[in-house]
């Protein structure tokens, strides 16, 4: 069938999947008590507190009267309607990005101090503000994954069962079997020790104020902790004032736009280590896949013909087997993306980065054991959208490259 | 020529011979034998952990003092003698800890005569039972925790994997065999579940479960197990479905139908047994993966240790990394030696790592040994 018919069909299949995902999250959200849902999904109102059903009676403070603001909030959130109606409103809100507000009791954002509490802000704007940081991390990790796994997998396939292959196999196993946060913690400790050596000064520290303006990824080598332009905990000013860097929202690009080369380098350096840790785990999964598909191609007839014609081996590999690599690359991209999305909360927490995953992690550890439901479910739906979008893009790319997929 | 199918006692003989041949092929794979050896070691620790005393606050919380006891602790708690750097040792067997970090004890085998047992893996300083602050007044013996944790980790992950596999076998076989509407519905359902990233789905299920009121000691473990099963079943269902699509076109299924077998019988006797192989491989891989995912979830805050003293490996690893950020903050503002408790991160990590690797190697070896193309 024609290409656009395939695309339309593929996108049409997306709707029931999205509705199904929303239904699952709806079922889980419905389990939350009403008062907490109001705290999470109703905009903050400084005049009255709508999230408790009763308040001290104005006429007699020792009595509890029904809270009119509570009833208003319940009605506004449609929580007094029958379940199917609620489901309909929920699906509509989820698809139109009305995902509620950061809980009024939330302390999300107050990491080691100094960040503004984000309470009362819309969930979508919070996620949109922190998403670029995660995307920077994802792109850098993707870059590392691509430049390492595909050449290494090809090498391993070509030198089958020789030391390179065995080494790649060991790397694959070790990356797969080590939990991300443990590898991250060990790397972090090694880096901090190397940089600061537990002492107050080290050869790496500089006194440049631009270089010092940013605190973030690594627990302190002392030199990066204090300095002008920092708050007492060393967070950058853009994170304090508006939690969004201007104008694009991507910290590295914005630093370059502002002409601050040191800051841009600093931002980049802070995400190199986490990107490497993420890439290591992902490469472990994909290396065997790349190697096996390369092996399959090398046994095909047309490669055998090329060899029989007398072509040198290097040319056989480059010209004939190498054509397969586009297909492999796209599959690698698709699998990588889905794997990434699950791992970011952990890595961002370990390396003290401020992306969507970190916000998610914060919203899970509110004091008193409560959670910030708006952010939790908002992040889940956002990541689901991203996974679904990535799958569709990969499928369409496949269909473009391989006509058999379109016709099937 | 029609091959003779052995019947009666000869059937079991044939199966035994098959097993012996499989073992022969397996034995020739060195890495797989290494995996098997490590796994047997874990099995031994599992049995040992069963009879090992459970970690409890009074017996495990060693109380470190800065000199010979009696110190600041209750007289019934076992006491380990530590002394800070820069001062003299108060007695034989007392050992030196860095200043301000009395309870960060590196792996050691010699303790004061008043103490109970060595600390071969060092100490674990963890958040206190409330889970809020790092409690430097008490520490755990990491060795106890890892031994007992073997039990918990293996039990939890085996139950998750087996339940998921059973659900997947039943649903996937039905979907693949019957086809049509059942197949479509089930495929959409697995699509939906697979679109939500795994960790996030597990977390929101645990949250919803806690809100509904499932909480408390064993309930927490059960809740986490259920959340994992709900996340894992689509994988098995897909595997079984694709396998049963192949099986239902085979001649023996046609023959069974021709001789009057009903659908149920065909499913039970032909489709499901022939779909077991890839499920089995996936199961063995997942048994190694589940503790890693449990560790990630524990790190994000769904920790069941030490508040409930369930020293599952992942929870122990997460509790041990919790202390690192505050350590660094502290280290940077004071001068003097800074201790980095590498042992409390490394050893749980090694346990998880060895377990996952051994299971992975074993599964690889089994797959190669059972592959008909390699058994010449």
What percentage of chain B has pLDDT greater than the value 90? 19
Provide the shortest C-alpha distance from residue B66 to chain A (in Å).
24
Is a pLDDT exceeding 90 seen at residue B43? yes
Q: Are strands B79-84 and B95-97 parallel, antiparallel or unpaired?
A: parallel
Q: Which residue has the tokens 């479910």?
A: A377
Tell me the range of A25-34, A298-307, B367-376 where mean pLDDT is highest.
Answer: A25-34
A28-37, A50-59, A361-370, B221-230: range with lowest mean pLDDT: A361-370
Confidence of residue A60 (pLDDT cuts 50, 70, 90): confident
Is a pLDDT exceeding 80 seen at residue B242? yes
Task: Answer with the residue of higher pLDDT: A374 or A48.
Answer: A374
Task: Answer with the residue of higher pLDDT: B324 or B345.
Answer: B345
Mean pLDDT, range B267-287, rounded to an integer: 85
pLDDT attached to residue B91: 62
Is B204 within 8 Å of A377 when comparing Cβ atoms? yes
Cis peptide before B306 (omega within 30 of 0): yes
Task: Look up residue B55 and give its two tokens.
Answer: 């970690």
CB contact A225 to B (< 8 Å): yes
Calculate the average pLDDT of chain A.
73
The burial class, CB within 10 Å (0-12 / 13-18 / 19+), for B183 is: middle
Is a pLDDT exceeding 50 seen at residue A219? no
Entry pTM: 0.82
Task: Answer with the residue of higher pLDDT: B211 or B129.
Answer: B211
Is B200 within 8 Å of A352 when comparing Cβ atoms? no
Provide the shortest C-alpha distance from residue A108 to chain B (in Å).
14
Task: Look up residue A326 and give its two tokens.
Answer: 């586009």
Whether the Cβ atoms of residue A70 and residue A52 lie closer than 8 Å to each other: yes
Confidence of residue A150 (pLDDT cuts 50, 70, 90): confident
Task: Answer with the residue of higher pLDDT: A164 or B228.
Answer: B228
Measured CA to CA, the distance from residue A33 to residue A31 in angstroms comes to 6
Task: Answer with the residue of higher pLDDT: A86 or A113.
Answer: A86
Whether the Cβ atoms of residue B85 and residue B187 lie closer than 8 Å to each other: no
Whether the Cβ atoms of residue A280 and residue A152 lie closer than 8 Å to each other: no
Mean pLDDT, range A29-49, rounded to an integer: 76
Calculate the average pLDDT of chain B.
77
Mean pLDDT, range B151-155, rounded to an integer: 92
A265-274, B233-242, B245-254: range with lowest mean pLDDT: A265-274
Contacting residues for A102 by C-beta, under 8 A, at least 6 apart: A40, A108, A118, A119, A120, A121, A122, A123, A126, A372, A374, A375
> H or E stretch including B140?
strand B140-141
Provide the shortest C-alpha distance from residue B354 to chain A (in Å).
8
Is a pLDDT exceeding 70 seen at residue A303? yes
Measured CA to CA, the distance from residue A168 to residue A155 in angstroms comes to 9
Specify the 3-state DSSP secondary structure of B65.
Answer: strand
Query: A18, A180, A182: best mutation site toward chain B, by most B Cβ within 10 Å?
Result: A182
Contacting residues for A336 by C-beta, under 8 A, at least 6 apart: A142, A145, A282, A286
Measured CA to CA, the distance from residue B115 to residue B110 in angstroms comes to 10
Mean pLDDT, range B233-253, rounded to an integer: 89
Mean pLDDT, range A80-107, rounded to an integer: 84
A309-313, B235-239, B357-361: range with lowest mean pLDDT: A309-313
pLDDT attached to residue A376: 87
Specify the 3-state DSSP secondary structure of B353.
Answer: helix
Is B203 within 8 Å of A388 when comparing Cβ atoms? no
Whether the Cβ atoms of residue A133 and residue A140 lie closer than 8 Å to each other: no
Measured CA to CA, the distance from residue B320 to residue B134 in angstroms comes to 10
Task: Answer with the residue of higher pLDDT: B24 or B337.
Answer: B24
Contact residues, A window 161-190, toward B, CB-based 8 Å cutoff: 173-174, 176-183, 185-186, 188-189
pLDDT attached to residue A231: 36
DSSP letters spanning B269-326: IIIHHHHHHHHHHHHHHHHHHHHHHHHHHHHTT---TTTS----HHHHHHHHHHHHHH
Whether the Cβ atoms of residue B302 and residue B224 lie closer than 8 Å to each other: yes
Is a pLDDT exceeding 50 seen at residue A216? no
Cis peptide before B70 (omega within 30 of 0): yes
pLDDT attached to residue A350: 79
Task: Answer with the residue of higher pLDDT: B94 or A382.
Answer: A382
Task: Look up residue B303 and give its two tokens.
Answer: 């920790």
Is A376 within 8 Å of B207 when comparing Cβ atoms? yes
Measured CA to CA, the distance from residue A301 to residue A303 in angstroms comes to 5
A205-219, A359-373, B155-169, B182-196: range with lowest mean pLDDT: A205-219
User: Which chain B residues have a beta carbon less than 8 Å from that of A181?
Assistant: 295-296, 299, 317-318, 321
Is a pLDDT exceeding 90 seen at residue B158? yes
User: Which residues pair with residue B95 across a beta bridge?
Assistant: B82
Nearest to B325 among A29, A176, A219 (CB): A219
Exposure string of B323-360, with b = 16+ CB inside 10 Å and e = fewer, is bbbebbeebbeeeeebbbbbbbbbbbbebbbbbbbbbb
CB contact A21 to B (< 8 Å): yes
Query: B200, B235, B307: best mutation site toward chain A, by most A Cβ within 10 Å?
Result: B200
Closest to A156 measured CA to CA, from A141, A166, A144, A146 = A166
The complex scores an ipTM of 0.82
Per-domain boundaries in chain B? 23-60+149-376
User: Which chain B residues have a beta carbon less than 8 Å from that of A346?
Assistant: 296, 299-300
Q: For residues B132, A181, A140 and A210, what is the CA-based torsion angle, rounded to 10 degrees?
A: 50
Size of interface A-B (CB pairs under 8 A): 154
- For B60-81, how does the pLDDT look when each residue is reduced to its tens digit (9 = 90+)? 344 555 444 444 445 554 555 6
Provide the shortest C-alpha distance from residue B262 to chain A (in Å).
32
Measured CA to CA, the distance from residue A360 to residue A379 in angstroms comes to 7
pLDDT attached to residue B220: 78
Helix ranges (H only) for A258-355 are 261-298, 301-308, 313-315, 325-350
Q: Give the fold, CATH level 3, of B23-60+149-376.
A: MetI-like fold (1.10.3720)
Mean pLDDT, range B360-365, rounded to an integer: 85
- For A152-207, how does the pLDDT look when each residue is reduced to its tens digit (9 = 90+)? 888 887 777 778 887 888 888 888 888 888 888 887 767 666 655 443 333 333 33
Mean pLDDT, range A136-142, rounded to an integer: 89
Helix, strand, coil percentages, rounded to 5, for chain B: 65, 5, 30
Task: Answer with the residue of higher pLDDT: B128 or B210.
Answer: B210
Cis peptide before A247 (omega within 30 of 0): yes
pLDDT attached to residue B343: 84
- For A230-258, how does the pLDDT look when each residue is reduced to its tens digit (9 = 90+)? 333 334 445 444 555 666 777 777 767 76
The burial class, CB within 10 Å (0-12 / 13-18 / 19+), for B35 is: buried
Chain B residue at shortest CA distance from A27 = B208
Is A20 within 8 Å of B189 when comparing Cβ atoms? yes
pLDDT attached to residue A49: 66
Residue A113 falls in which region: left (phi positive, over 0), alpha (psi -120 to 50) or beta: left
Is a pLDDT exceeding 70 seen at residue B98? no
């Amino acid at each position: 069938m024609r290409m656009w018919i395939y695309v339309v069909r593929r996108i049409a299949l997306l709707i029931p999947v999205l509705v199904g995902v929303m239904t699952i999250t709806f079922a889980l959200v419905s389990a939350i008590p009403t008062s907490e849902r109001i705290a999470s999904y109703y905009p903050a109102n400084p005049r009255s507190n709508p999230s408790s059903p009763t308040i001290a009676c104005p006429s007699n403070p020792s009595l509890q009267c029904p809270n009119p603001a509570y009833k208003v909030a319940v009605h506004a959130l449609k929580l007094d309607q029958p379940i199917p109606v609620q489901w309909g409103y929920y699906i509509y809100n989820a698809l139109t990005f009305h995902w509620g507000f950061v809980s009024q009791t939330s302390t999300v954002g107050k990491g080691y101090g100094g960040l503004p509490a984000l309470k009362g802000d819309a969930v979508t704007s919070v996620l949109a503000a922190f998403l670029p940081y995660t995307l920077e991390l994802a792109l850098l990790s993707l870059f590392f994954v691509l430049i390492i796994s595909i050449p290494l997998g090809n090498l391993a396939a070509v030198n089958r069962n020789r030391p390179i292959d065995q080494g790649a196999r060991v790397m694959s196993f070790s990356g797969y079997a080590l939990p991300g946060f443990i590898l991250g913690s060990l790397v972090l400790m090694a880096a901090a020790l190397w940089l600061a050596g537990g002492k107050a000064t080290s050869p790496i520290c500089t006194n440049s104020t631009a270089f010092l303006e940013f605190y973030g990824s690594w627990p302190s080598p002392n030199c990066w902790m204090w300095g002008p332009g920092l708050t007492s905990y060393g967070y950058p000013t853009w994170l304090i004032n508006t939690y969004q860097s201007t104008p694009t929202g991507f910290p590295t690009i914005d630093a370059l736009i502002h002409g601050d080369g040191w800051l841009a380098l600093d931002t980049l350096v802070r995400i190199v280590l986490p990107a490497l840790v993420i890439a290591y785990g992902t490469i472990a999964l994909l290396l065997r896949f790349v190697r096996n598909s390369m092996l399959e191609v090398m046994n095909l007839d047309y490669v055998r013909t090329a060899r029989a014609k007398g072509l040198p081996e290097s040319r056989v590999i480059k010209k004939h087997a190498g054509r397969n690599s586009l297909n492999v690359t796209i599959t690698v991209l698709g699998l990588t993306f889905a794997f990434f999305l699950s791992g970011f909360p952990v890595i961002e927490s370990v390396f003290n980065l401020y992306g969507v995953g970190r916000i998610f992690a914060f919203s899970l550890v509110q004091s008193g054991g409560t959670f910030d439901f708006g952010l939790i479910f908002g992040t889940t739906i956002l990541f689901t959208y991203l996974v679904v979008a990535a799958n569709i893009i990969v499928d369409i790319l496949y269909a473009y490259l391989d006509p058999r997929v379109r016709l099937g | 020529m029609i091959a003779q199918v052995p019947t009666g006692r000869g059937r079991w003989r044939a199966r035994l011979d098959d097993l012996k041949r499989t073992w022969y092929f397996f034995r020739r794979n060195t890495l797989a034998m290494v995996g098997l050896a490590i796994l047997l070691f874990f099995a031994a620790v599992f049995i040992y952990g069963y009879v090992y005393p459970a970690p409890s606050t009074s017996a495990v919380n060693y109380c470190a003092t800065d000199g010979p006891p009696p110190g600041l602790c209750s007289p019934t708690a076992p006491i380990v003698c530590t002394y800070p750097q820069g001062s003299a040792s108060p007695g034989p067997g007392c050992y030196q800890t860095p200043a301000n970090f009395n309870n960060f004890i590196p792996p050691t085998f010699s303790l004061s005569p008043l103490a109970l047992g060595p600390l071969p893996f060092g100490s674990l300083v963890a958040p206190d039972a409330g889970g809020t602050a790092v409690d430097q007044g008490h520490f755990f013996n990491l060795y106890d925790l890892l031994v007992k944790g073997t039990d918990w980790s293996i039990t939890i992950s085996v139950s998750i994997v087996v339940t998921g596999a059973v659900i997947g076998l039943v649903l996937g076989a039905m979907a693949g065999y019957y086809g049509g509407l059942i197949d479509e519905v089930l495929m959409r359902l697995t699509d939906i579940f697979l679109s939500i990233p795994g960790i996030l789905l597990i977390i929101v299920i645990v949250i919803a479960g806690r809100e509904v009121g499932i909480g408390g000691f064993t309930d927490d473990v059960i809740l986490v197990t259920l959340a994992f099963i709900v996340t894992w079943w689509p994988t098995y269902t897909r595997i079984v479905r694709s396998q049963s699509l192949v099986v239902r076109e085979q001649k023996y299924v046609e023959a069974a139908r021709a001789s009057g077998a009903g659908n149920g019988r065909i499913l039970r006797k032909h489709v499901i047994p022939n779909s077991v192989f890839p499920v089995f491989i996936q199961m063995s891989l997942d048994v190694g993966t589940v503790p890693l995912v449990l560790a990630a979830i524990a790190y994000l805050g769904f920790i069941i240790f030490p508040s409930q003293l369930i020293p599952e490996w992942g929870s122990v690893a997460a509790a041990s990394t919790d202390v690192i950020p505050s350590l660094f903050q502290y280290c940077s503002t004071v001068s003097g030696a800074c201790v980095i408790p590498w042992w409390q991160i490394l050893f749980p990590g090694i346990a998880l790592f060895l377990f996952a690797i051994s299971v992975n190697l074993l599964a690889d070896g089994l797959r190669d040994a059972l592959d008909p193309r390699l058994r010449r």
